[in-house]
Chains A and B, each alone.
Chain A
Amino acid sequence: MNPYKVLGVSENASQEEIRKAYLDLVKKYHPDKYTDNPLKELANEKLKEINQAYDILSRKPNGSGSQNSSNSGYGSSGYGYSDSYRKSSYSGTYAEEFNRARMYINQNNLNAAQSVLDGIPLRNGEWNYLYGIIYLRRGWYDKAREHMQNACEQEPDNAEYRNAYQTLLRNNNPFSSTGGQTGGDDCDMCNVCSTLMCLNCLCNSCGR
């Protein structure tokens, strides 16, 4: 592994540049972005590689800030992925089946998880939540949203369901903020400016 290539920096980059590149990459592959995503493992691998590369480069006696940055918390342990569905807090009826379904989801065996859930006649919050995750991982977003919403409505106090639902909705529209509107048609400030300019012209012509 070439740590410079992994971080996308040149070989004579300063510690500052390395750190910046590292933080940008961590943001890009952040675990929060890839929960309930079939590419979670891949993102995890990437992040591990990035952590390793940063570890090597920040320990290298190259710049003056070297000791300082390896101790800053991202170094050895770095950001990592935790298992997001460890154990369910659920303890109602069919607890065993629901746990089995969660286990299958953890292993990314979606068909098995689905058939376990299909065998449960109870349509409670847990059922809807798990079904929502299955749909989410398959890419069936409308169904995923519907089930997550049901789960939250049935058990509004459950933090796990609520978080998952909010994450799903929040991730939804990054395009308007990343410049999707550049050069756009409803640019309010431009309208204000051009209106002011027009008014100015009118005033000038009236004044003379």
Chain B
Amino acid sequence: MFGYVRPLECELRVKESNLYRATYCGLCRSMRKRHGYITTWFLQYDCTFLSLLYSSLCQAKTECKPCHCLHRAFERKKSYAVDSRETRFCADVNVLLAYHKCLDDWHDDHSIVKGCAALLLRPKIKNVSGKLKLAVSSGLDSLSGLEKQGCPDCDRVADAFASALRGAALSADFIPLEDCAALGWLFYNLGRWIYLIDAWADREADGKKGSYNPFNLKEYPKEQVEFMLYKSLDESVKALDLLCPIRNEDLIRNILVLGCGRKTATILGGKQDESL
């Protein structure tokens, strides 16, 4: 379900690309420091976006330092965003979402790998704040309830997932009060987009496996899906407009408008993936 929220790299300036990488590496290091090395295998692009947005919103400057990467030990030093409350929070969100995802896959397909991953992640969840845990699990529990019932209404299931994401994003205690409404709407709509695009991309695979997918239960014309996806993205961009001016606006806008927009176009066009 994750990994859709990424920049369109060919449209990035060099400094933006460097900042994105530094944010990614910074999140990875925060996860390692806070939850142990294993959790870095579950690093997600979506949480990198969250980290980027929150550090742009709440920090006066993203402080970066050069450092060696464990995964690429023989390469030269890469710069990473130093550990901060924003990266620590995003590390928590990442671990929590990864845990729920693995658990969900274990329940759905009884995949041994995912089961083991969930077991590995389970003890890490203890460090996560109760507020965040509650926000995520209440949304995802209602989602799995709906999936079990075989709910054919994609608005309703997308709502459950989106509420989980909104709850997660808003459970940070450092975001300015006046930005809560816009952030909530941004992540709610982004959550809808993530759920729907994932469901649309996986509908054939899910059909073969017999797993739940709202698009297999009811006939949705492609135009209708297109409308839902673009509308959700459009609304999250409108919410971003209300947060502005913030730092790194161009990079954040690149991810939401170009990155996600292109992803929508390629997935609706039936192509698997793209880099340019």
B27 within 8 A of A: no
What's the interface size class on A, roughly?
20 to 34
The residue in chain B whose Cβ has the minimal distance to the Cβ of A37 is B238
Q: Which residues of A contact B182 (CB under 8 A)?
A: 39, 42
Q: How far does the alpha carbon of A172 sit from the alpha carbon of B232 in the complex, in Å?
A: 9
B65 within 8 A of A: no
Q: How far does the alpha carbon of A8 sit from the alpha carbon of B246 in the complex, in Å?
A: 11
B212 within 8 A of A: no
A175 touches B233 (CB 8 A): yes
Which residues of B in the span 9-26 have a Cβ within 8 Å of any Cβ on A?
10-11
Q: Which residues of B contact A183 (CB under 8 A)?
A: 10-11, 276
The residue in chain B whose Cβ has the minimal distance to the Cβ of A173 is B230
> B202-232 interface mask toward A, CB cutoff 8 Å, 1 = contact, 0 = none?
0000000000000000000000101110111
Q: Which residues of B contact A38 (CB under 8 A)?
A: 181, 185
Q: How far does the alpha carbon of A185 sit from the alpha carbon of B161 in the complex, in Å?
A: 32
Which stretch of B75-83, B109-117, B256-264 is in the interface?
B256-264
The residue in chain A whose Cβ has the minimal distance to the Cβ of B274 is A185
B241 within 8 A of A: yes
> A126-143 interface mask toward B, CB cutoff 8 Å, 1 = contact, 0 = none?
000000000100111111
> A167-190 interface mask toward B, CB cutoff 8 Å, 1 = contact, 0 = none?
011011111101111110100000
Q: Which residues of A contact B238 (CB under 8 A)?
A: 33-34, 37, 39
Q: How far does the alpha carbon of A181 sit from the alpha carbon of B162 in the complex, in Å?
A: 27
B159 within 8 A of A: yes
The residue in chain A whose Cβ has the minimal distance to the Cβ of B156 is A140
B235 within 8 A of A: yes
A37 touches B235 (CB 8 A): yes
B55 within 8 A of A: no
The residue in chain A whose Cβ has the minimal distance to the Cβ of B192 is A139
Q: How far does the alpha carbon of A16 sit from the alpha carbon of B198 in the complex, in Å?
A: 46
Q: How far is the CB of A165 from the nearest CB of chain B, in Å?
A: 12
B93 within 8 A of A: no
A102 within 8 A of B: no
The residue in chain B whose Cβ has the minimal distance to the Cβ of A168 is B231
Q: How far is the CB of B262 from the nearest CB of chain A, in Å?
A: 6
B185 touches A39 (CB 8 A): yes
B189 touches A8 (CB 8 A): no
B239 touches A171 (CB 8 A): no
* A39-B227 CB under 8 A given contacts A139-B162, A139-B192: no
Q: Which listed residue (A34, A143, A182) contacts B11, Cβ 8 A?
A: A182
Q: How far does the alpha carbon of A33 sit from the alpha carbon of B237 in the complex, in Å?
A: 11
B245 within 8 A of A: yes
B188 within 8 A of A: yes
Q: How far does the alpha carbon of A174 sit from the alpha carbon of B224 in the complex, in Å?
A: 16
B231 touches A171 (CB 8 A): yes
B262 touches A142 (CB 8 A): no
Q: How far does the alpha carbon of A166 sit from the alpha carbon of B242 in the complex, in Å?
A: 24
B257 touches A145 (CB 8 A): no
Q: How far does the alpha carbon of A181 sit from the alpha carbon of B276 in the complex, in Å?
A: 10
Q: Which residues of B contact A176 (CB under 8 A)?
A: 261, 265
A141 touches B257 (CB 8 A): no
Question: A residues engaging B (CB < 8 A)?
Answer: 8, 28-29, 33-34, 37-39, 42-43, 46, 135, 138-143, 145, 168-169, 171-176, 178-183, 185
A-B contacts besides A39-B181, A46-B242, 8 pairs, CB < 8 Å: A28-B241, A29-B242, A34-B238, A37-B238, A39-B185, A39-B242, A139-B185, A182-B258
Across the A-B interface, the 6 shortest Cβ-Cβ residue pairs:
A175-B261, A180-B261, A140-B155, A141-B231, A173-B230, A142-B155
- 6 residue pairs A–B, Cβ–Cβ below 8 Å: A139-B159, A139-B232, A168-B231, A175-B230, A178-B257, A182-B11
